[in-house]
Structures are given as structure tokens and as C-alpha cells.
Amino acid sequence: MSIMDFNVKKLAADAGTFLSRAVQFTEEKLGQAEKTELDAHLENLLSKAECTKQWTEKMMRQTEVLLQPNPNARIEEFVYEKLDRKAPTRINNQELLGQYMIDAGNDFGPGTAYGNALIKCGETQKRIGTADRELVQTAAINFLTPLRNFIEGDYKTITKERKLLQNKRLDLDAAKTRLKKAKIAETRALIWAEEVTKSEQELRITQSEFDRQAEITRLLLEGISSTHAHHLRCLNDFVEAQMTYYAQCYQYMLDLQKQLGSFPSVFVSNNSQSSTTSMSNISTSSSGITTSLLPSTSGTAITPAIGDLKESSGNRKARVLYDYDAANSTELSLLADEVITVYSIVGMDSDWLMGERGNQKGKVPITYLELLN
């Protein structure tokens, strides 16, 4: 027999098998043929596998959205992954905001209170951006990759074996149908007994192949429990990565707020008749511990030392805490860490003192000063 003849016979046999399965499937749908039902245990395993696949896909997609909210960036990363190439490093939102803050602070002047505060905020945002990048990398390796491996690996194998089982089941039921028809024809003396024997032999073969494929499929499906245990460990890793990330962010912001707590915030009213300094109280609660992050200062909340000075007519030395740019000719510009002489004048606004530096004299805000003993 030539190779061509062999291929022709094989194609003919495959076509016959496909036609037999198609006829059996159609008759089952029309209710004209019996269908072999899988045992309850196997049906439960199939249902569990399908449920695992659906929820794994949903969790995987939403985790990708959580880690990378930009859909265009996700598509780009997917393309690079399929091309087996490393995606270019992209600055994230926190790092970009931090860089803008730093640039703005340098432009306004790092020696000013606002410029200095912007720089400190920007540096913190960049640190948060770095922590976010580490979270994305850790989650991708320890959580997303195992989920994707299940969908693209284990479940594809299960699907393949499940389709084979379906085909073997159709072959089995088609053989049962042919045997049934052969026995009916035999009773009517329409066919020889050899035809019935041939149908019985075919049924035994298809039954054996179906049982073997059912066992293979069952063994694969029972591995879903191990998959759940593996995904549980991956979930613990993901939670630990998130916990580390949020703990880092909390510590960064706590440090930043403590630094900002020493920065006064001076607001001048539109009519330039009065100035008020205010700082909100922010409390952050973590693990049942409430920490006051920002001190409260206002025009009426004056330290005892400054209060005593305003009630007396004497002079005191004061250290300047922050740079201050005079708003007009009645005020005195200040440089951080310099020491000046201050005193109170009757009728002066409660938020201000008179300051002297050599021959220079002018009003200075009390929140920028620390009285010396």
C-alpha cells in the first residue's frame, strides 16, 4: 500500500468518524438519541474547573487594571510580552507629580517656605512612585503570573482533554445506537448475526476508550484543588506586597506631615487690612493609635513667651525659623537661622512684632520666630 493510499483511507475514516459524531450530536439535541451521562463526581469536577477558570480570569483582569489603570499602557505591555521583549520603563503618575512639584519649588525658590514645602512634597511623591513600581513588579511575579499560567497552561490542557472526552462519549453513544439498530434488524432477519457481533465489538472498544479518557480527565480535574492551594499562597504574597506598599506610603506621608507641620501658612486678606495664619489639625489613625500630624497655630494661639513679650515693652532676641519676603516697605525680610531683635508696639496686630536688624526695621510675622532666652 502506497503512502497516498494510506492517507486517503485515513482521511475517509476521519470523515466517517466526524459524520458519525455530528449525527449523534444532532439527534441528541433533537431528543432522538440517548446520551451517556457522566458520573456525578466527574460533573462536579468539571463545574469546579469552569468556575475556577471564570473567577481567575476576572481577578486577573481587575488586578491588571488596579496595577496599571492606563488601558493604553496595558495594551503596550501586552504587545511587548507577546513579542518577548522588555517594555520601556515609564514614569508613573506619582513620580510625574513629584517631579512637577520639585520643579515648581525650585522655580518659586527653595529658600521660600512654599518652594521648600513643594520640594519636600515632590520628593515624597517620588518615593511613593518608587514604592508603587515595586508593588507592581512584585504583584506581577508572585500573583498575576501564576494566575496567567493556570489559564494559559493547566486549563488549556483540561479543555483539550475535555473535548476528547466529549468525542469519545459521542463515539460510544453512536456505537450503542448502531448496536441497537443491528439487533432490531436481526430480529427481522434483515442482517446476519455477524453484523451484530461486529457492532458489539465496536461498542466494547468505544466503551474502553471512553472509560480511559474519563479517567485521564478526572485526574487532571482533581488537580484543581492543588491549584487552589497554590493560588492561596500567591494571594498571601499579594496581600503582603500591598501591606508593605501601604505601610511605606503611610510612613512617607507621616514624615512629610511632620515636616510640613513646622511650616507656617500665611494668608493675606484681599483688602490687606489683616493677616491670619492657620494650620489645620490632621489626625491619622493606624492600628488604633491616633497621631496628631500638624500643630494648630492661629493669630490668637500665641506661645507664652511671645505673649509675655507683647505685654511688656522690652526687647528680645529671636531666631528666624524660615525665610520671609517682605510684602511691602513696612515689613522686614527675613533669612532662616538669623537672629534679630524684636519688640511689641501698642496697637500692632496680634500676629506681628516689630523687628530690627542693624539699621533695618519693619514688621515681622510671629509664626516665623523663635524667642531666645
In one-letter notation, the amino acid at residue 308 is D
Dig out the grid coordinates for 71 from the structure: 488601558
Determine what percent of the chain is predicted with pLDDT higher than 70. Answer: 77
DSSP annotation of 91 reads -
Q: What is the pLDDT of residue 7?
A: 60
The pLDDT tens digits for 294-313 are 333 333 344 555 556 655 55
Least confident of 9-18, 78-87, 320-329: 9-18
User: Which helix (H) or strand (E) covers residue 361, if one does?
Assistant: strand 360-365
Q: What is the pLDDT of residue 274?
A: 37
Instruction: Pick the more confident residue, 7 or 67.
Output: 67
Q: Which residues partner with 267 through β-bridges?
A: 276
Q: What is the pLDDT of residue 84?
A: 74
Dig out the grid coordinates for 336 from the structure: 532662616
Q: How confident is residue 269, by pLDDT bands cut at 50, 70 and 90? A: very low
User: Which helix (H) or strand (E) covers residue 305, if one does?
Assistant: helix 304-311
Q: What is the pLDDT of residue 91?
A: 85
Helix (H, G, I), strand (E, B) or coil at 141: helix
**Which of 217, 41, 56, 246 is closest to 132 using CA atoms?**
246
Ordered DSSP codes for 149-202: HIIIIIHHHHHHHHHHHHHHHHHHHHHHHHHHHHHHHHHTT-S-HHHHHHHHHH
The pLDDT tens digits for 142-159 are 999 999 999 999 999 999
10 Å Cβ neighbour count for 231?
Answer: 18
| pLDDT at residue 288 greater than cutoff 50 | no
Q: What is the pLDDT of residue 88?
A: 74
Which residue ranges form the domains of the chain, and what is each CATH number?
11-262 (1.20.1270.60), 316-372 (2.30.30.40)
In one-letter notation, the amino acid at residue 311 is E
What average pLDDT does the segment 246-273 reach?
Answer: 70
The pLDDT tens digits for 187-208 are 666 556 677 788 889 999 999 9
